[in-house]
Amino acid sequence: MTTITTFTRRVAALLGLLLILAVPAFAQTATTSTTLSTALTDTSGQFVTVASATNVEAGGMLFIDREAMDVVSVNSTTARVRRAASGTQAAPHPASSVVYVAAKAQKASIFTPAKPAFGTCTRANEAFLPQIDTRTGDVWDCPVGDAVWVPLNQVLTVKTVQFNLDNGSGTTIDAELIRHPRAIVITACRIVYDDATTGTVAGGTMQIGTTVGGTDVVAATNYENAKAVGTTTAMVVAAGKIAAGTPVLVRHTGVAATNAGMAYAECDYVVR
């Protein structure tokens, strides 16, 4: 009896092992993305032309900025779509915008409920990454080496230390604005005055670059005279794409001590 029981147990264990080996290994797949070849200039256009038609198929979905679109039919790289799908809002989209693509069978895995801010995640457990919550328009990723959900398209804001504008004519001060572990896109920058300017401060400037004294992100922008506390001076972003781990530096150039004012640089960015 003992021999039979032992044999039976061994057979059961072997069958269990074979069943485990028969289950296919789970593989995390990158969500397909491409770019918009031609701008959508209104909220009613039904045709979307993309750089690549991979996974673009009838019954699938496209997601551009914060608008979802149902794919009705496809002809080469042009898809006929229904705008403002899944409760999103239709909006114009410039050429070269990122387009996330979900084939018909992928939609349920890519368009998922909202992820909790700073909620934990395991990359290997997710069928597709990134994932999209159409209710909020947020795109979420579980980055390699991380264990928390990261929003890729939420607009975040960062600012420098405060600069004393009258620290000496031509005198420069350099400060780090941000050094992000992931690639980012700086979308807008401004000078913010938190002490009113008096006298002539327009000779002073603020500029932003990826090297000390650089201007590749924002060219030198003059301060403005007679600015009240809380007002701003717009800065023109020349190149907003920043590689992962790259420092973004701000240089302040001051004016003579007979003038007055305090300001800092503030920039909006999204994680890419």
Does residue 11 belong to any structural domain of this protein? Answer: no
Q: How many CB atoms lie within 10 A of CB 185?
A: 16
204 occurs within a structural domain: yes
State residue 14's pLDDT score.
Answer: 44
- The domain that contains 254 carries what CATH number? 2.60.120
Alpha helices in the chain (DSSP H): 2-22, 107-110
Given a cut of 80, whether residue 10 has pLDDT beyond it is: no
Q: Does residue 117 lie in a domain region?
A: yes
pTM of the model: 0.61
Mean of all residue pLDDT scores within the chain: 88
Between 196 and 146, residue with greater pLDDT: 196
| pLDDT tens digits, 80-129 | 999 999 989 999 998 988 999 999 999 999 999 878 766 889 999 999 99
Report d(CA 169, CA 166) in Å as an integer. 7
Domain end (from 127, 151, 175):
151
Residue 249 lies in a domain: yes
- 4 has pLDDT over 70: no
Question: Are residue 65 and residue 165 in the same domain, yes or no?
Answer: no
Q: Give the CATH number for residue 143.
A: 2.40.33
The three state secondary structure string of 211-233 is CCCCCCCEEEEECCCCCCCCCEE
pLDDT for the residue numbered 19: 41
Preceding amide of 130 cis, omega within 30: yes
Considering the domain architecture, whether residues 117 and 216 belong to the same structural domain is answered as: no
Within this chain, do residues 205 and 245 fall inside the same structural domain, yes or no? yes
Instruction: Say whether both 113 and 214 belong to one domain.
Output: no
Question: What's the average model confidence in pLDDT over 65-73?
Answer: 95
Residue pLDDT, tens place only, 242-261 = 999 999 999 999 999 999 99
Per-residue model confidence (pLDDT) at position 118:
66
Contact yes or no for 206/266 (Cβ under 8 A)? no
Residue 6 domain flag: no
Number of independent structural domains in the chain: 2
Where do we find the tokens 């269990």? 16
Could you list the residue range(s) of the whole structural domain that residue 45 is in? 29-151
Please spell the DSSP secondary structure of 3-53, one letter per residue. Answer: HHHHHHHHHHHHHHHHHHHHSPPP--EEPEEEEBSS-B-SS---EEEBS--
